[in-house]
A and B are shown apart, each in its own frame.
Chain A
């Protein structure tokens, strides 16, 4: 094993960056919007028809109802039959951030533009352009999610209904209808330095989200059986740069990438449940040259919703993803001659989320996020342990977005979210491996409390 002082020297410069990226990640997770008024205008429906909470879900994630899942599966093309709707929405987010360590702040943290909705009976989409505050009066504009769809409905197979579609998107699993996989919820166990999470996890360093482009073909058979297969390629780093992303987060050059998703989903009107599996396999050159790592993700997810008469909605989801890695190289440990990185490893991400929504206006979400992996002294600093455990508690109030709201043109949400870390880099104390005499960092020092006000129109 390498010595702590050596590892500390390697890690010290990255800690500030890590703090910043964690803060940005948590902020993003707490304010992401999924329901947009343009869909309400297009369909005549209320936001609360597609989402348990009337502002596009609960604290985090879209919290889709079965009706919302069908809208997504139908390529965002459902309509009230009246044309002439402008397919544009916008969102502003003001956030008060109170980190456990560091100064509190209150800023307009995000401004978004959505181009979304139907183009024809068979073509629709969702495109989000996001401007994030990165400094004093400085905003970084980036292309977030893209999900463009072609859908063929009203098909029959063996006398049963069949829907077939194609999705062109830039984030594996974002397009999933059940919308509990990491890219769709923005929930994922935060990881330490390096690619410590699974490839499917949105919050992993060097994750593919927004930096790849791919196409999937999907089908829904007999209303209950969902299947999807597809492939992705990473965008050139120059394109990522043009789209607003730092090259340091490049997922690397990926090839031979396959993605699949199968699920059984049952809409019982007052209840809903689903059982699904997801997989992704790819060869990745993280540095875009040299040997490639073989990554294979395989996961399953379970969901249950009690919907009743929509007065009291409870949604449960559990996602478990295992990633097997076969590394293309085994670099030596610079601090300990003779030691090298392991040729193989495994990473394991789990997310458990419970959301309660009252009258689709008041909500409470609790989530447990856990990430574990094979110990590797060279690949994961400072202790060779990538394990992370975190919790999220979020409450929100969304007064509009329902059938009886006085407006369907605009929507608003006020949310308070608390992130709590109990383990980071496999440690419960001195998580960055500071040498004796240097102040240490505890997992709780990464905790953060955020209050946000979001306005969409």
Chain B
């Protein structure tokens, strides 16, 4: 039996993992789109530059908190200089009432307690680039 070079084996492994993971993420993101429409879309747009009561969520994952130039953030959120909306931070923030996560925020949200819905939503938010 011919052995594959180590580099090629690793590439095959990564490619296979990506292939296997892609449909899962696509399905999660599709489900997350529905979660977004029922939980978030009234106050947030996914269009770049379009703010509603809440700021645009285009490019939210990885963005530093309170940094959209044309949105009027609460003082509370502007004070969170060290917050970056990583998937982990979003999970923590969205899993509880917004005013508990960030006292003084303008955001009125009771939190998303369904773990799968939350995972799907964060997967979907990650596609908004």
Contacts and interface: CB of A to CB of B under 8 A. Distances in A.
Interface residues of A, number: 19
B72 A81 contact: yes
Say which size band chain B's interface belongs to: 10 to 19
Interface string B20-54: 00000000000001100111011101110011110
B52 A270 contact: no
Given A81-B72, A403-B47, A45 B52 contact: yes
A167 to B, nearest CB: 22
A80 interface: yes
Contacts, number: 46
Contacts of A67: 42
Interface in B37-95: 37-39, 41-43, 45-47, 50-53, 70-72
Given A309-B34, A309-B37, A80 B42 contact: no
Contacts of A307: 38
A147 B53 CA distance: 23
Given A44-B45, A309-B34, A403-B47, A79 B53 contact: yes
B45 A403 contact: yes
B29 to A, nearest CB: 14
Nearest to B46: A403
15 contacts: A43-B53, A44-B52, A44-B53, A45-B42, A45-B52, A49-B52, A67-B42, A80-B53, A270-B38, A307-B38, A308-B38, A310-B37, A310-B41, A403-B47, A403-B50
When A and B form their complex, which 5 residue pairs have the shortest distance between CB atoms, in order from nearest?
Answer: A81-B72, A309-B34, A44-B52, A67-B42, A309-B37
Interface of B: 33-34, 37-39, 41-43, 45-47, 50-53, 70-72
Interface of A: 43-45, 49, 65, 67, 78-82, 269-270, 307-310, 403-404
Given A44-B45, A67-B42, A307-B38, 18 more contacts: A43-B52, A44-B50, A44-B51, A45-B42, A49-B41, A49-B42, A49-B52, A65-B42, A80-B51, A81-B51, A81-B72, A82-B51, A82-B72, A269-B39, A308-B34, A309-B38, A403-B45, A403-B47
